Amino acid sequence: MPIDHLPGRWRPGARAFRDWVATDKGVLLILALVFTGRSLSFFSDAPSIFRHVVEVRYWWISPIVWGASALLSWIALRRDSPRVESAALVVAGMVLATWGVLYLWTEPVHIPGYWGWLDWIRVVLEHLTPFLARGVIYIGLALFLVYTVWRGRFMPSVWRGDDVARL
């Protein structure tokens, strides 16, 4: 909904919120919420379909990694320091990318059936299924994070009337 269609008294607040969300703070808010939810998910007893290699060997590392990333994101939201914001974004990208790549070392899943001479496809899929089901999502989120921050810093801001990109 365009802001111009909102009641007049809501427009200044809606514009201020839109401008705030379009900065790194908006990305940090999303990351803080996602990382907080992910760190809290480790306190559930629900079984995981694909257990991450870190969760299998050292179950206590996962909540610490996600919790520390969430904490750093929340701290960066509260502080007006470009260094803290940059550090939080770098850590978030590293955690997402590393977590996704580590799915390559997850235990293979069993795919039933006999495929004859194409049995090598089944073996490859058994080893790649956890990565393709979960790992690519984390890597995609990391790439999305990098793209969003890059675009926000180098593309002109249309709604503020910037004629040149901010460098």
Residue 38 has pLDDT above 80, yes or no: yes
Domain with 43, as residue range(s), is: 23-155
The pLDDT value given to residue 129:
73
Neighbours of 44 (CB within 10 A): 8
Taking alpha carbons only, the member of 3, 11, 64, 8 closest to residue 39 is: 64
The verdict on residue 11 lying in a domain is no
**Contact, 23 vs 152, CB < 8 A?**
yes
Q: In the chain, how many domains are there?
A: 1
The pLDDT value given to residue 40:
87
Confidence of residue 113 (pLDDT cuts 50, 70, 90): low
The verdict on residue 137 lying in a domain is yes
Residue 69 has pLDDT above 90, yes or no: yes
The verdict on residue 15 lying in a domain is no
The verdict on residue 111 lying in a domain is yes
The verdict on residue 10 lying in a domain is no
The verdict on residue 62 lying in a domain is yes
The verdict on residue 5 lying in a domain is no
**Contact, 101 vs 139, CB < 8 A?**
yes
The verdict on residue 163 lying in a domain is no
